[in-house]
Structure 1
Amino acid sequence: MVKYVAEPFKIKMVEPLKMTTREEREEKLKAANYNVFGLDSDDVYIDCLTDSGTGAMSDTQWAGMMAGDESYAGARGYRKLMKAVKDIFGYEFGQPVHQGRAAEQVLLPSYLKKGQKCVSNMHFDTTRGHVGLLGAKAIDIVVPEAKDTSTYLPFKGNMDTKRLEAYINEVGADQIGVIIMTITNNSAGGQPVSMENLRTTKAIADKHGIPMIIDAARYAENAHFIREREEGYQDKEIIDIVREMFSYAEAFTMSAKKDAIVNMGGLIGVKDSEELYIKVKGLTIPYEGFVTYGGLAGRDLEALSIGLYEGLDKDYLKYRVGQIEYLGGRLKELGVPFQYPVGGHAVFLDAKALLPHIPYYQFPGQALACELYLEAGIRACDIGSYLLDLDPETGEQLESEMEFTRLAIPRRVYTQAHFDVIAEALKNIKERASEIKGYEITWQAPVLRHFTAKLKPIE
């Protein structure tokens, strides 16, 4: 029997949840055009749509918000945040923005031109979208073991460095604008990247004169996995592991709504290039606001500067990842397939294995997400072919290498009993999996369609 890791905190405020019947959920899902993003949160019992901005802030963060300086320029929170950036990441320059996709919008134009390639261990949806908006093409080169969801590998998020070298030689280094290392690798199942892999990828990038940056949304969870699984790091402090990780990149983007445990916020870090930082500031002002607030209120800057440190606490990280491992352990006992081992922020259900009768163009990951809501009011999301936009050249439906349904767990929000409800719901779904039908899209936006697309069940 898998053991639950007890919370390293006590609860001092609660938010009531609404219970619904299956009949009510059927009506709600149909009204949302079978897109879980269209559901009202009040109609969701356990919300695993995302771990982005959905965490519970600490009393220290809330106290910091009350002391926030709301000056337009030069607020105290900005100075405090820049001090944290230098201390934690070892970077000379930092730029707050309102969230991760804003960081991509501001930073990526300095690296990518129309017709170029952007190579990553795996791009997540907004990164892929911004690469496409710049007229470039996103190329994923994750290790092949990431596709084997049943076999244990400590670092399934790694870049396939042999394939990377071969790809650079094939297309030419001048055709590749930037290499992005996503840590942890969300699209591969929240899987971590090893320090050795970061180091080797950086060496390849330097050899060919290609800049390397980090998508740092879940950097603390990645550091925890390195400490737990990589030889030579067991006795190192998390912050020291983080500093080494970021030493292998020249810049980073971050959605701070994940590991910094805030409801809104993002960051750009620039290691030491003043020229690059000037470009970042130049785009921040028209897109986000003046450089010392970057689209955030002063109270948000305070909460972010505190949360960056709270997310590095080793007891918190043990509990955080332990929650995901508990849910994964329950599902393993029940025979429900998922990306094994679990990632740091989510359990990625293997919808292709659970629903083999549903082809990729009928979106098994989305079908499972809808079924979870109907079964128990649980909201999850597709990380598979439905997540991918149409091929920009052919207009054809792209096929994802993995068909996942992601159960992303908000930080410091749910308890063991909630995870038992999720496990029981999936047990029931598994027993009637062959009866579940796929979906077709009736309307879609040209970019990042999964947020707003309309669907209907296949009859």
Structure 2
Amino acid sequence: MSDIASDFETVPEPYKIKVVEPIKLIARQEREVAIKEAGLNQFLLKSDDVFIDLLTDSGTGAMSQNQWAGMMLGDESYTGSRNYYNLQKSVEDILGFKYYCPTHQGRGAENILFGIIIKKGQYILGNYHFDTTKAHIELNSGLAVNLIHERAYNTSVEHPFKGNIDLEKLEHFIVEKTPEKIAFLLMTITCNSVGGQPVSMENLRGAYQVAKKYNLPIFIDAARFAENAYFIKKREAEMFSYSDGCTMSAKKDGLVNIGGMIGIKEDEELFKKVKQRCVPMEGFPTYGGLAGRDMEALAIGMREVVDEAYLASRIDQVEYLGRKLKEAGIPIQQPLGGHAVFINAKEFLPHIPQTQYPAQALCVELYLEGGVRAVEVGTLLAGRDPETGLEILPELDLLRLTIPRRVYTNNHMDWVATCLKRIAARKDRIRGLKIVEEPPILRHFMARFDWAE
């Protein structure tokens, strides 16, 4: 914000509302029916039955007037669309990558790149892989390893960069397993699974140096690159200098409803392989599963997202909700991250064992209380050990209140906070859940539940 804005206690959003979408709070009895029909899984709810949707910030943001105008300039040629080259200019200017390949979203980018680089049984090391990334690693016969610093697991500890990888653990793992058994390093910025926590420039530099010491490639999961850059007050291009490339779900910091990409710094041979694999999996490399209008919206969005006024407003709204919950005594991951507020469900609901999914039970209760849809980032999301089939019990069992970009006002945040305060007054009566149906991978999307005994 401007210097003048720093003199005020609150600062308004750096935009005004031009178009609105009606939302409706259906009656409590209707919510009870809706969540039961959804198998107590908020992913299976109809959006019309949701009042405030904090399920995800992926593709749920509001686009600007310039992005909508840009979509009218979509060049829908099958190859060589002008929008591809406009996006190429944004990628080079903002991220600093010489080569890029658009994809329909981040998962498409991961599936292409991982299938090229990973050999069967190799380890992929990172600060903390998100569930969909872990799934794509395993689908490509790799083994995902999380090496986040231990302080990330203590939600009450204040540290500015809880997303940092533990550099000592990283080097020890490489030496112990040998570099030949490591496919690559992947740094997730900000680190979603531990509360949207940023990674420091020093830590990125250190991870890069370790990777180069052992001749290993290092990539960045860049879904929320601008938010991470804002936290460390550095130019985003400098962050990406400590990598060989990136995968990106552009549905977050690309400020679009669909889109992703692979960015590669210098490795032309790898880029050739990416393009070859893109053709059968996503489409021709100059559209990669996107319409020309989508690429144009992304080209504009990537420039808008690094505007400091936007970022200040975005992160301030997350902090606003977090402060409300903290004042109410609700345990959250501290300090607050960039895209969501994470409630420590293990601490909030200590009477529910992890095997009965406390964060998922809290998701159900929050929907019943006020029509708010949130998401579990805990035992349910962690899944089962692929070898033993046993539940993986992560250190953190979190409920994520994910705030879409440029969508809700602080009045909506007040509603969410009030719902959680009311739940806190009767939290001892909340019951755990048991799974009655689950798919073998990424189970939290489609699993169905019943109340535990």
Shorter-chain TM band: over 0.9
**1:181 maps to 2:187:** yes
Partner Cα distance (2:162, 2:11) in 1? 24
For 1:345, the equivalent position in structure 2 comes to 339
**1:296 maps to 2:290:** yes
Contact 1:360 1:399 in 2 (8 A): yes
Q: Which amino acid aligns with 1:348?
A: F
Mark the runs of 5 or more structure 2 residues left unpaired by the alignment: 1-7
For 2:156, the equivalent position in structure 1 comes to 150
The CA deviation string for residues 352-397 of structure 1, in whole angstroms up to 9 with x for no partner, is 1100111111111101111110000000000001002211100101
Contact 1:339 1:349 in 2 (8 A): yes
Q: Could you tell me how far 1:5 is from its partner in structure 2? A: 3.9
For 1:86, the equivalent position in structure 2 comes to 92
Query: Of 97, 104, 121, which residue of structure 1 is paired with 2:103?
Result: 97
For 2:165, the equivalent position in structure 1 comes to 159
**1:442 maps to 2:442:** no
Mark the runs of 5 or more structure 1 residues left unpaired by the alignment: 228-232, 234-240
For 2:376, the equivalent position in structure 1 comes to 382
Q: Which amino acid aligns with 2:59?
A: G
**1:321 maps to 2:327:** no
**1:364 maps to 2:370:** no
Query: Of 216, 221, 228, which residue of structure 2 is paired with 1:210?
Result: 216
Query: Of 446, 449, 452, which residue of structure 2 is paired with 1:455?
Result: 449
**1:54 maps to 2:60:** yes
Q: Which amino acid aligns with 2:73?
A: A
Partner Cα distance (1:31, 1:5) in 2? 42
Question: More deviation in 260-269 or 18-27?
Answer: 18-27
Normalising by structure 1, what TM-score? 0.96
The CA deviation string for residues 142-200 of structure 1, in whole angstroms up to 9 with x for no partner, is 01110110111000000011111111122111111111000000001000000000000
Partner Cα distance (1:344, 1:296) in 2? 27
Query: Of 14, 18, 32, which residue of structure 2 is paired with 1:12?
Result: 18
Cα root mean square deviation, aligned: 1.0
Q: Which runs of 4+ in 1 moved over 2 A?
A: 2-5
Q: Say which SS state the counterpart of residue 245 (structure 1) adopts.
A: helix
**1:251 maps to 2:245:** yes
**1:224 maps to 2:230:** yes
Contact 1:4 1:326 in 2 (8 A): no
Partner Cα distance (2:117, 2:351) in 1? 42
The CA deviation string for residues 109-128 of structure 1, in whole angstroms up to 9 with x for no partner, is 22211111111100011100
Q: Could you tell me how far 1:3 is from its partner in structure 2? A: 5.5
Contact 1:4 1:416 in 2 (8 A): no
Partner Cα distance (2:182, 2:432) in 1? 37
For 1:236, the equivalent position in structure 2 comes to none
For 2:4, the equivalent position in structure 1 comes to none
Q: Could you tell me how far 1:4 is from its partner in structure 2? A: 4.8
Query: Of 158, 166, 170, which residue of structure 1 is paired with 2:176?
Result: 170
Q: Which amino acid aligns with 1:337?
A: P
Percent identity over the alignment is: 54
Partner Cα distance (1:134, 1:378) in 2? 36
For 2:406, the equivalent position in structure 1 comes to 412
For 2:80, the equivalent position in structure 1 comes to 74
Query: Of 265, 275, 279, which residue of structure 1 is paired with 2:273?
Result: 279
Partner Cα distance (1:68, 1:279) in 2? 27
Query: Of 102, 122, 125, which residue of structure 2 is paired with 1:119?
Result: 125
**1:260 maps to 2:254:** yes
Q: Which amino acid aligns with 1:315?
A: A
**1:269 maps to 2:280:** no
The total of aligned residue pairs comes to 446
Normalising by structure 2, what TM-score? 0.97
For 2:3, the equivalent position in structure 1 comes to none
Q: Say which SS state the counterpart of residue 382 (structure 2) adopts.
A: coil
Partner Cα distance (1:196, 1:407) in 2? 29
Q: Which amino acid aligns with 2:229?
A: A
Residues 184, 72 of structure 1: alpha-carbon distance in 2 compared, 3 angstrom cutoff: same
**1:309 maps to 2:315:** no
Partner Cα distance (1:145, 1:256) in 2? 29
Matches within 5 A, 1:10-49: 10-49=16-55
**1:65 maps to 2:39:** no
Question: More deviation in 360-369 or 316-325?
Answer: 360-369
